Amino acid sequence: MRHLDDAELASIALSGLASLEPESRRHIDTCPDCSVEAAAFSSVGSVARSQDFLDEPPAELWERITGELGVELSPQMLETSHANGVSSATTTGLFPRVVLPKTTPDDALAPTQDNHPAPEQRQATPEHSPDAGRPIRGLRPRRGRRAGNRNRSRAWIATAAVASFVLGAAVAVGVGQWVGRDRIEVVEQASLQPLPGWDASGTARVEDTAGKLQLVVDLPDNPVSGFREVWLLDLAGKTPGLLSVGTLNGDQGVFDLPPGVDLTKYNVVDVSHEPFDGNPAHSSDSIVRGELGSVS
């Protein structure tokens, strides 16, 4: 059974489950391990794609803030009349807005870079506002472009985090595969020469991967009426011995060797042409053959 690979998990994080092939999605439904991994990667990707990083604070929070500041909060935020000398107020979501006293020409001439003077400035010049004694009708936190930029910044940070995670996973897999290849050691090799009636030639080698021996045969795929079988032969003993390691399909075959096989004894690689006759014995029709030797 084939489980999800790293590329598919990365695709889930970036584009969701819909990016997978139907076969992979069906596998997730039946495999508990892959289902858990897919859910985790999908959750990470959803966080990166979401724009809802800031929750709207409850109205009670602004009531406590306005209480500390000594201003009056108007939940209804009714429009006030210009005849009363106070500008109109509106609402945006749950956030009230500060309704400031209407400025006089003197205020308009005063040098300032802030359209909303600080509380101490307004208290220091009460004569400039005929309605300075009126309570401020509401308070609105300054939200707008800065908040939007902050949202976008957090979105980019989350997206970058996901991308970094996926890139790190890919690098880790690549490094692991590279290190794994470094552990493969070729301990024996042979040149496979054609036998009478055949003109093919190839190579064979024995690889040791963490104590596991494999025979790798490279031989051009030539059409035969039956099939090709790979053998290890012992031709030095009084009675020749042979060991079948598998069927060669295509240009290359990789065969696991039995634990404890003596390559000083079974040191000849043979590829034979076998008919479909149900007889497991060697047909005596060898295509190529070569003797294994140590790598110099």
- Which tens digit of pLDDT belongs to each residue from 236-289? 877 789 999 999 999 999 999 999 999 999 999 999 999 999 999 999 999 999
The arithmetic mean of pLDDT across residues 200-211, rounded, is 94
- Strand (E) or helix (H) holding 186: strand 184-194
Enumerate the domain spans of the chain. Answer: 6-49+148-182, 185-294
- Strand (E) or helix (H) holding 296: none
Whether the full predicted model's pTM is greater than 0.75, yes or no, is: no
pLDDT over threshold 70, residue 208: yes
Q: How many whole angstroms separate alpha carbon 167 and alpha carbon 155?
A: 18
Q: How many whole angstroms separate alpha carbon 253 and alpha carbon 283?
A: 20
Q: Determine contact, residues 219/251, Cβ cutoff 8 Å.
A: yes
CB within 8 Å of 188: residues ≥ 6 apart: 205, 206, 263, 267, 292, 293, 294, 295
Q: Determine contact, residues 2/33, Cβ cutoff 8 Å.
A: no
CB within 8 Å of 119: residues ≥ 6 apart: 69
Q: How many whole angstroms separate alpha carbon 119 and alpha carbon 123?
A: 6
What does the pLDDT read at residue 13? 78
Q: Which amino acid is at 260?
A: G
pLDDT over threshold 50, residue 96: no
More confident site: 28 or 62: 28
More confident site: 178 or 270: 270
Q: Determine contact, residues 222/272, Cβ cutoff 8 Å.
A: no
Q: Which amino acid is at 140?
A: R
- Measured CA to CA in angstroms, residue 38 lies from 9, 12, 20, 215 at distances of 7, 7, 11, 37
pLDDT over threshold 50, residue 94: no
Q: How many CB atoms within 10 Å of residue 53?
A: 14
CB within 8 Å of 169: residues ≥ 6 apart: 6, 9, 10
The arithmetic mean of pLDDT across residues 19-36, rounded, is 84
Q: Determine contact, residues 295/207, Cβ cutoff 8 Å.
A: no
